A = this chain, B = another copy of it.
Amino acid sequence: MRTFSIAIHGGAGTITRSLMSSEKEKLYREALTYALNQGEEILRKNGTALDAVTAAVVALENNPLFNAGKGAVFTNTGKHEMDAAIMRGDTLEAGAVAGISAVKNPILLAKEIMQFSGHVFLAGNQAEDFARSRGLAFETPEYFHDEFRFGQWMSVKDEEGYQLDHTDEKKFGTVGAVAKDAFGNLAAATSTGGMTNKRWGRIGDSPVIGAGTYANNESCAISCTGHGEFFIRAVVAYDIHCLMVYKGLSLQQACELVVNDKLVKMGGEGGLIAVDHLGNIALPFNSEGMYRGFATPEESIIEIYK
Interface residues of A (CB under 8 A from B): 87, 92-94, 98-99, 117-127, 129-130, 161-162, 199-204, 208-211, 214, 228-229, 232-235, 238-239, 242-243, 246-247, 266
Contact = CB atoms under 8 A, between A and B. Distances in A.
Copies of this polypeptide in the complex: 2
A247 B199 CA distance: 40
Nearest to A266: B92
Contacts of A99: 123-124
Nearest to A214: B235
23 contacts: A98-B123, A99-B123, A99-B124, A119-B229, A120-B229, A121-B203, A121-B208, A121-B232, A122-B201, A122-B202, A122-B203, A123-B201, A124-B201, A127-B200, A130-B199, A130-B200, A208-B209, A209-B235, A210-B232, A214-B235, A238-B238, A243-B246, A246-B247
Contact of A124 (B121, B123, B162, B243): B123
A266 B125 CA distance: 30
A235 B247 contact: no
Contacts of A98: 98, 123, 203
Contacts of A239: 238, 242
